[in-house]
Amino acid sequence: MVQEDGRSPLVGARVVVTGGAGFLGRAVVARLRDRGVMDIVVPRKCDYDLTQESDAARLYRDARPEVVLHLAAEVGGIGANQANPGRYFFANMAMSLHMIEHARLNKLQKFVQVGTICAYPKHTPVPFREDDLWNGYPEETNAPYGIAKKSAMVMLDGYRRQYGLRSAYLLPVNLYGPWDNFDPATSHVIPALIRKCLEAAQRGAPFIECWGTGSASREFLYVDDAAEGIVRAAERLEEPMPVNLGTGNEITIRELVAHIARGCGFFGEIRWDPTKPDGQPRRCVDASRARELLGWSAQTDLAEGLRRTIAWFTAQRDGARAQAGSS
């Protein structure tokens, strides 16, 4: 819990943030530093392949953490999930397996696991409540990833009951924001659409094509809001009951595409390819547990978050072009 003087209980602790150089990790590290947490270790994949137990063990030896925030994941959009079901299950399961086991062996004070909304059953009643997490099989295209992440929660629960390992488990909805992955082969829906619309606008293209029918709905959480929830969980939670992080607002993909197209200055036709999958029909969570346990709620609405994300990507793209032109 937060101390009486208002300081974070993480101040003075050595904190390892796996995936700390990535999209979500950057925001989490910034939040920790805002709290006065300065002893932060961010392992890089080139130095520690956490799918290998020997590397996970070496990370604990080298970093000597007291708290671990495990954000590292291998993940992508629908197409990437379809192309890599075996790899995504193995990589995500192996990383959590090794990191949690060596947390036990090293008598870690706290382990925070970031899960995924993909762990919920395909036809979960909306809004998703944490008690529904086991009431069915996940949507098929991302089930291997979702089940691997959900298995980590089971492991943490067992380790809490048998070994006393304190932990937290969070289920953020689809994230977006600056530093996201904008690679069209592996990106999620918002960065993929931003890039597609900006490039179409620049070319003067008469249309863009989008996967599915556009009828599926999603809920999106700005990355800085997710980071705040994760840090609060590290400060306040002691056991791995699932906790949703979301806004409670959903939007259809069709509406989302129209909104992003306008924000990117693309006013051509939007064509839909119904031969491609829509993914899970609806996603929207009940975040009341996060409000009750963490005092947390999302602060950034979708319109403002998209504006910031489009502006960031545009600036990055323009900066790269200017640098290339001067070389």
Positions marked active-site:
145
Report the C-alpha gap between 2 and 180 in whole angstroms.
30
Residue 278 exposure: Cα atoms within 13 Å on the Cβ side:
16
With the CA atoms of 246, 96, 49 and 114 taken in that order, what torsion angle do they form, in degrees rounded to the nearest 10?
Answer: 10
Count other C-beta atoms under 10 Å from residue 63's C-beta: 19
Cα angle 118, 120, 130; round to 5: 125
60 closest CA partner among 1, 115, 14, 114: 14
Q: Which 8-state DSSP code applies to residue 66? A: S
From the DSSP assignment, how many helices (H) and strands (E) are in the chain? 10, 12
| Beta carbons within 8 Å of 197's beta carbon, 6+ residues apart | 208, 260, 261, 263, 264, 265, 266
3, burial (CB in 10 Å: exposed 0-12, middle 13-18, buried 19+): exposed
Whether 51 contacts 91, CB under 8 Å:
yes
259 closest CA partner among 197, 179, 316, 199: 197
With the CA atoms of 300, 122, 256 and 116 taken in that order, what torsion angle do they form, in degrees rounded to the nearest 10?
Answer: 40
DSSP string spanning 101-134? Answer: HHHHHTT-SEEEEE--GGGSBTTPPSSB-GGGTT
